[in-house]
Amino acid sequence: MKIMNSRNWILLKELVKTDFKLRYQGSVMGHLWSILKPIMLFSVMYMVFIHFLRFGDGIPHFAVALLLGMVIWTFFQETTVMGLTSIVARGDLLRKLSFPKEIIVVAVSVNAFINFLINLVVVLIFALINGVDVSKYALLVPLLLVELYVFSLGVAFLLATLFVRFRDISPIWEVAMQAGMYATPIIYPISMVSEKSLIAAKIMMLNPLAQIIQDIRFMLISDQNVIVGQLLSWKFVYIPYVIPFVVFAIGYTVFKHNSKRFAEII
């Protein structure tokens, strides 16, 4: 993306502030829902999958790993779902002002990332309470967060472009997100899959989200969490790290190519 001028930076900041203020407008708890929502979901997941079904037995601090996985997935979901409708939702703004249309999608992603960082602090607090010893590898986590953001934004660009023309994309993506959540090692450890089918585990780890979740779990929670390098051979280990940047390049190119006609189509 080209470096934005001061006018566009101001517009971006205003869109981020507006979206953040409107996120829970009218609710009693307000922005506390940013913290309460993932914790409530985690509580349900914990009771079902850890307490009753005993997922993650033998893996240190798997409850914290579950919360971390949910927070990462929630960020990806929020960025893509909100990004999908962002251009159509701002149709009035597109018709009134001339500006780079990608600012709208970026604003959504920045808003989701702020929410993600707040939730990440909650995860770290839970980790400290549970006696997790943060390793030296934690210094590499910001690189994985960049990978996560780039991948999420790239998908959001693609979805936003498609939704302008095809409104059926919304329910299709909703189903895809539900399926994707269970196809990603969030509520269960990847070792549970590899014990039954090593090939299935290897295929799952080609998914950038699976790779990001497992790598961050390894760096922040326990080195007993399986990472991509332990499952994939050197010929394939780089694939999940490259996919996010390829997706971003494709997503942004497609978005930019079609953005000139957004206002007239909407």
Q: What CA–CA distance (Å, rounded) separates 174 from 158? A: 15
Please, where are the H alpha helices in the chain?
Answer: 6-22, 33-45, 62-89, 91-96, 102-129, 141-165, 169-182, 190-196, 198-204, 208-220, 228-231, 239-258, 262-265
Position 1 in a domain: no
- Whether 2 maps to a domain, the answer reads no
Residue 94 covered by a domain: yes
Domains: count for the chain? 1
Instruction: Answer yes or no: are the C-beta atoms of 189 and 29 closer than 8 Å.
Output: no
Q: Report if residue 30 sits inside a domain.
A: yes
204 lies in some domain: yes
The predicted pLDDT at position 192 comes to 86
Tell whether pTM > 0.75: yes
Distance CA(9)–CA(11), nearest Å, equals 5
Spatial CB neighbours of 21, under 8 Å, sequence gap ≥ 6: none
Cα distances from 227 to residues 14, 20, 46, 189, 191, in angstroms, run 39, 34, 22, 11, 10
What is the DSSP secondary structure assignment for residue 90, as one 8-state letter?
T
Residue 145 in tokens? 């967060």
Confidence (pLDDT) at 76: 97
- pLDDT score, position 60: 76
Q: What is the pLDDT along the chain (266 residues), one digit of tens a residue?
A: 554 677 788 888 888 888 777 766 655 555 566 667 777 777 787 777 666 666 666 777 888 888 899 999 999 999 999 999 999 988 888 877 778 899 999 999 999 999 899 889 888 888 888 888 877 788 899 999 999 999 999 999 999 999 999 999 999 999 999 999 999 999 888 888 988 899 999 999 999 999 999 999 998 887 777 778 788 888 889 999 999 999 999 999 999 999 888 877 77
**Range of 128's domain?**
7-265
User: What pLDDT score was predicted for residue 109?
Assistant: 95
Contacts 24+ apart (CB under 8 A), 114-121: 114/16, 114/20, 115/23, 115/34, 115/75, 115/78, 116/71, 116/72, 116/74, 116/75, 116/78, 118/34, 118/35, 119/34, 119/35, 119/38, 119/71, 119/74, 119/75, 120/71
Question: What is the reported pLDDT for 131?
Answer: 83
How far are the Cα atoms of 24, 37, 118 from residue 31, in angstroms, in the given order?
6, 10, 11
pLDDT at position 29 is 59
The contacts of residue 126 (CB under 8 Å, 6+ apart) are 63, 64, 67
Is residue 39 a part of any domain in this protein? yes
